[in-house]
Amino acid sequence: MKVTLLGAGSWGTAMAAQAARYLQAGEVCLWSRNAKQLEGIQKTGENTAYLPGVTLPAGLQLEDVFERAITRLSENDLLVIATPMSGLSETVAKVLQLAKHSLNIVWLCKGLEPSTALLPHQVVAREDHLHSHGLQHAYGALSGPSFAQEVGNGMPCALTIASKSSALCDLVQGAFHHGNMRIYASDDLVGVELGGAIKNILAIAAGIGDGLDLGLNARAAVLTRGLAEMMRLVKAAGGRPETCMGLTGVGDLILTATGDLSRNRRVGLALAAGKPLPEILDNLGHVAEGVLCASAVGSLASRLGVEMPITAMMSEVLSGKLSPQNALKKLMGRDPKVEA
């Protein structure tokens, strides 16, 4: 099996390393548009910009020509899009325009398209309608609690591949289910993708609470009530609420809201310290998807008639309409109600 990963950021590099450790030399290809970045990886054996300290397998193939990265794949191979959510639409469109046969396509990004509030699989379906030229491609989302640094170092990790295609799920498991990584299969794309989007917003909220020194009781309340919001929206959007109790819901939420490697949690901590959002994001140096999709999740919730007070407060904080302190006051000042 051949595997191509598009995007040599931290997560794309980590997953390329995971596959390349167990597949044959040359079967795994990591593409980047930045030829100098790949030259550096070739020389040092590391992606020093995004995954420092992780030695990449010698058999990992590097490629800076997009067309070659795509056309090396057959109908039985796997294409993994490792760009941020903001790059998904453009990347899928370019892939489909080059496709000469059916492809198996998986994405790693988490979030919603800010301008449309579409989930990743809906963005892909839109591009498929425009560019597939009658070919029948298989699609899926690979998600779950995972820090790139730990995956790059070969530490234990469990993820979920969500797809309507059982054959695609088998391919993903064949590529990545090795060593300390387990891959579970699901057909609930809505539940898996919404869990991955909402947990980032809740991680910012948890970071704010920790930054304001509100205590562990407050963190537990944010995560528990945030999980309830997640389950309500998943159900209203056509997913299964029980998916939120798995790896891509509560599992990813716990990791992202409490782990020191979490970019979204670090955004919350910095907001609580009074730093302006542009400065926070500039210092972060990486994408924090919770910042980009908070408003979109709120729009989707409004459209579906779902109450999500924590998410709504985070959207106001991130847009500069509320300070973290005033958001807390509004949340704590809500009328009493039955837990649901």
Kindly list the catalytic residues. Answer: 199
CA–CA gap between residue 55 and residue 266 (Å, rounded) = 26
Beta-bridged to residue 47, according to DSSP, are 51
CA 251 – CA 258 distance, rounded (Å): 11
Separation between Cα atoms, residue 166 and residue 184, nearest integer Å: 11
Side-chain-facing half-sphere of 290: CA atoms under 13 Å: 33
Rg (CA), the chain: 20
Number of residues assigned to the chain: 340
Rounded Cα–Cα distance for residues 116 and 157 (Å): 32
- Residue 51 DSSP code: B
Residue 312 · residue 334 · CB < 8 Å: no
Cα gap 87→307, rounded to integer Å: 29
Locate 45 and state its tokens.
Answer: 């054996």
**213, HSE (Cβ side, Cα atoms, 13 Å):** 1
How far is residue 18 from each of residues 53, 79, 107, 177, measured CA to CA in Å?
15, 15, 16, 9
